[in-house]
Structure 1
Amino acid sequence: MRDYQYSSSGDSMRHTYNTKITGAISGHFLIDLYTPILPVILPLLIVNLGLSYFLAGLVVTVFNVVSSVTQPFIGLYGDRTGKWVSVPFCVLIGSVGISLSVLANNYLIVLFLVGGAAVGHALFHPSAMALVHKLSPPAKKGLYNSIFTTSGSISYSLGPMIAGFFITFGGLPSVAWMMVPGIVGAAWIYRNDRRTGTVEPIKKEPVEKKQVHGKYWWIPAGLVVTVCALRAWAYVGVITYLPTLLLLWNQGIDTFTVSVIITAMLFTGVFGQVAGGYLSDRFGRKKVLVLGFLCAIPCFCLIFLTTGWTMYAGIMLYAFFASFCYVASVTMTQDLLPGSVGFASGLTLGLSMGIGGVGAALIGWVADVMGSLPDAMFLLIIPTILCPILALFIKYSDKPAAVAEE
């Protein structure tokens, strides 16, 4: 582990900071490239290893639980000690683990490799986010954080299409070649870290003594996290099983086409994320949260109650509105837990996604029991409907940022 520290000592030091920030942003692009590969390879693992829907979903569950549930605790430890795991190490094990899982002919080995990759993801995100936050110029922290987040969202969208390309032209084992960018990128980031060396310390920013909003501050914060978890349950469940649904339950569609559909879906989610963040600043976060969830409900229904272009439109619109709420929910939790930004982010970005992964395995089990994957997936309408209902009860000062600053 190393201490990422900060000082302002001229152009040379600023160049050092920018180099390290670039490494963190590049690392985020690389490591998030591998996460969405799992849903694309699941249909082939089901066939090759003879897996049930539950065991297939458990692969995603293991990844999400290990990589996400641990993040709040890693963030809390880092916030208190200032010590973080090196970015290139996280990128290396995160990329290699996922890529090698396609070569395994044993289910337990697949779980081991995926779990190892998840460790890299769990350590990376709090470390890299802390690095970007501490080394960014005070006037540009929002900009740098936005670039960092978007870099991961873009690569997350590209991952399925790249994996689909390899599978189409080289079969499932060829996906292992995707480890090459991760290895090369980790080496490049490590080389730059070695050349720039360590950076000087900064005095810790004073934390406001008042760190809670009222006596029962944990109620609104807990409601936001609960809504995030329900959203993640539905969204992760759709992303996890949609490739299998399209490949095994629809005729005349191939792996590459499915991967393009998933990539388009995830890219639409990126646009939804940006739009939701912008509108939440202008009109209020709670309003955006409730509106996004309400719009997601009919879009979700289109996926399972229609066919053809209407179904595909439902997929894209659902991804847009499910992601539309993303930034608002994260920022609301940070506002409700001042002085614990790292912990708050870990709850919304980590813990909630881990719960979503557990939900994916549950949907797989239900599909095995019902004998129908589409019927089991449609049950995700329940958490989708609960989201706007619970969001209405969140006690939050919903003033637009522009008004609040006046």
Structure 2
Amino acid sequence: MSAEYNVSKELQCAQEGIIITATVSKKLTGAITGHFLIDLYTPILPIILPLLIDTMGLSYFLAGLIVTAFNVVSSITQPFVGLYSDKTGWRASVPLCVSIGSLGICLTVFTNNYLLLLVLVMGAAIGHALFHPSAMDLVYRLSPPTKRGMYNSIFTTSGSISYSIGPFIAGVLIEFAGLPSVVWMVIPGIIGAAWIYRNDLRYLDEKFFEKPAKKVRSQSVERKKFWWVPAGLVVTICSLRAWAYVGLITYLPALLTIEYQGFDTVTTSLIVTVMLFFGVGGQIAGGYFSDLFGRKLMLVLGLLCAVPLFALIFLADGWLMYFGIMMYSFFACFCYVTSVTMTQELLPGNVAFASGLILGLCMGVGGVGAAVIGWAADVMGSLSDAMFLLIIPTILCPILALFVRYPPGK
């Protein structure tokens, strides 16, 4: 009887293990799918900026302000969403976030009113802000501690792949059917949101997110007390990195089509797409190697390699310039996943808040920086000269990374 009971108990445990594994898999699939869909739309903005500059008569500053509006709203909202999530356990709905993000961006092509355009962009930013802290918190909690870098890279890569595809799809549509045709890109977002909702792929299940024991909680509080300063330094580094990276992505299409000339929309969007795919490769490599060789070492290495490659973009022509664009993207993104994981590990009791800081606040700084570069281009009369100023934050990043105090062996 005892043997039968033990066998029955083992079978029950095995079945529960299979159910838990399947549920975890569904939740991760939902987060990854949602990330792929919602990040498909953000890079459309830089592709349509040259057309908006031409058709609406915008200055570089006003054009850059569109990207700034998106990033600032997202950056301000995300840390608060993350903090609220940490305190209450609330998580945003994937389908809702995807629907808001896709509709807000795609409807911008139907208005000639600058203020309405900003409202639509900011609405899309709210969808992004609700999504990212919740999703990153989910991935962190369900990932084995020794493989958090890898799992974070998988999650971020899903969004980065769509972020890379988005410009090319938008460029092809614009080239062959005009600017209003971009609205057709809303279809995958709506269908994807409906599919996720139908399959009930939600973020939060209390079974997997139980409150930590008192002992763990006290250790977490003690660690947070001593690691807020290095976490803040990592956020500062990420903000400077985002300033250079977002600035390059924002104005590269305008630089190639307006200032350098000889580039059509499809060619420009293809260059941006390839550049972003190199960034995807950098994210995968950065997450993997940070697990093997330590996060701080990989952070410093990636940021250091990015400096000469950024300079090459503006000091070289032809294939050397393209090489600089692609490899700068690789190393700028190489340290991105590493910095996300570092901040989460430095603030273990505030994972959603930490994710909101990196994915929100840092990108917001990048968006503000884009407007500053646009203003500088108007004043200097040269977009390329203004963009080259971004080498200053690029150089500061590896210097500051050397001073990050991080747990030994990580």
Question: When the two structures are superposed, what TM-score results if normalisation uses the length of structure 2?
Answer: 0.89
Matching of residues 161-176 of structure 1 within 5 Å: 161-176=168-183
CA displacement 1:2-44 (0-9 Å, x = unmatched): xxxxxx9464565455334322221111110001111111111
Map 1:69-80; keep pairs closer than 5 Å.
Answer: 69-80=76-87
Q: Is the 8 A contact 2:45 2:67 kept in 1?
A: yes
CA contact (8 A) 1:132 1:144 kept: yes
Aligned with 1:55 (options 57, 62, 66):
62
Corresponding residue SS for 1:176: helix
Correspondence 1:236-315 to 2 at 5 A: 236-315=246-325
Amino acid at match of 2:359: L
Following the alignment from structure 1 to structure 2, what is the Cα–Cα distance between the partners of residues 375 and 118?
A: 30
Distance 1:22 1:262 in 2: 27
Query: Partners in 2 of 1:126 and 1:233 — Cα distance?
Result: 21
Q: Is the 8 A contact 1:245 1:373 kept in 2?
A: yes
Report the structure number with the largest CA radius of gyration.
Answer: 2
Deviation at 1:367, TM superposition (A): 0.7
- Displacement of 1:307 in angstroms is 1.1
Q: CA 1:134/1:264 → structure 2, altered by over 3 Å: closer, same or farther?
A: same
Unaligned runs of 5+ in 2: 1-14
Q: Does 1:226 align with 2:236?
A: yes
Residue 209 (1) aligns with residue 218 (2): yes
Q: Quickly say closer, same or farther: Cα 1:47–1:198, change in 2 above 3 A.
A: closer
Contact 2:247 2:366 survives alignment (8 Å): yes
After superposition, give the CA deviation of every residue in 1:45-100 in whole Å (9 maximum; x if it has no partner): 11111101011001001101112232111011011111122110110010011011
Change beyond 3 A, Cα 1:129–1:345: closer
Residue 214 of structure 1 deviates from its aligned partner by: 8.7
Q: Is the 8 A contact 1:94 1:118 kept in 2?
A: yes
CA distance in 1, matches of 2:83, 2:372: 29
Distance across 2 between alignment mates of 1:226 and 1:197:
29
- Give yes or no for contact 1:285–1:398 (8 Å, CA) kept in 2: no
Q: What letter is aligned with 1:319?
A: S
Is residue 40 from structure 1 mapped to residue 50 from structure 2 by the alignment?
no
User: Structure 2 vs 1, CA of residues 142 and 235 (structure 1 numbering), >3 Å: closer, same or farther?
Assistant: closer
Residues 234-272 of structure 1: CA deviation (Å, up to 9, x unaligned):
111001000100110123211001111101101101111
What amino acid maps onto 1:287 in structure 2? Answer: L
Quick check: 1:128 aligned with 2:108?
no
Amino acid at match of 2:334: F
User: What letter matches 1:125 in structure 2?
Assistant: H
Matched residue count: 392
Shift of the 254–336 alpha-carbon distance from structure 1 to 2, 3 Å rule, reads same
Task: Tell me, in whole angstroms, the C-alpha distance in 2 between the residues paired with 1:193 and 1:139.
Answer: 29
CA separation of 1:373/1:146 partners in 2, compared to 1, >3 Å: closer, same or farther? closer
| Residue of structure 2 in register with 1:152 after alignment | 159
Structure 1 residue 286: deviation in Å?
Answer: 1.8
The change in CA–CA distance for 1:398 and 1:318 in structure 2 (over 3 A counts) is: farther
Q: C-alpha separation between the residues in 2 aligned to 1:345 and 1:198? A: 16
**Hey, what's the Cα distance between the residues in 1 that align with 2:126 and 2:152?**
23
Q: Is the 8 A contact 1:165 1:256 kept in 2?
A: yes
SS at match of 1:50: coil
CA contact under 8 A between 1:95 and 1:182: conserved in structure 2? yes
Change in CA separation of 1:147 and 1:222 when aligned onto 2, cut-off 3 Å = closer
Map of 1:403 onto structure 2: none
Shift of 1:350: 1.5
Whether the aligned pair in 1 keeps the contact of 2:224 and 2:347 (CA below 8 Å) is no
Q: Mark the CA change 1:11 to 1:64 in structure 2 (over 3 Å): closer, same or farther.
A: same
Secondary structure of the structure 2 residue equivalent to 1:85? coil
Residues 1:114 and 2:86 aligned together: no
Match of 1:89 in 2: 96
Q: Distance in 1 between matches of 2:345 and 2:148?
A: 16
Question: Deviations along 1:181-219, whole A, 9 cap, x unmatched?
Answer: 11111111111119x999564532334423355965332
Aligned partners of 1:212 and 1:337 also within 8 Å: no
- 1:148 CA drift (Å): 2.5
Q: Is the 8 A contact 1:20 1:193 kept in 2?
A: no
Q: CA RMSD in A?
A: 2.4
Partner amino acid, structure 2, of 1:209: S
CA offset digits 1:375-400 (Å, max 9, x no partner): 10010011011111111122223425
Q: Which moved more, 1:62-71 or 1:315-324?
A: 62-71
Q: How far 1:232 sits from its partner (Å)?
A: 0.5
Q: What is the distance in 2 between the residues matched to 1:139 and 1:317?
A: 28
Separation (CA, whole Å) in 1 of partners of 2:347 and 2:203: 34
1:324-348 CA-partner distances (Å, limit 9, x unpaired): 1112222222232232222222212
Structure 1: stretches of 5+ with no match in the other structure? 1-7, 401-406
1:273 and 1:320 in contact (8 A); partners too: yes
Seen in structure 2, the aligned counterparts of structure 1 residues 148 and 10 have a Cα distance that, compared at 3 Å, is same
Residue equivalent to 1:333:
343
Aligned 8 A contact 1:227 1:390 in 2:
yes
Partners of 1:304 and 1:198 in 2: CA distance: 46
Give the stretch that moved more between structures: 121-130 or 15-24: 15-24
* Aligned mate of 1:397, from 374, 385, 407: 407
TM-score (normalizing by structure 1): 0.90
SS state at 2:200 partner: helix
1:283 Cα shift?
2.3
For 1:350, the equivalent position in structure 2 comes to: 360
Q: 1:137 to 1:286 in 2, by over 3 A?
A: closer
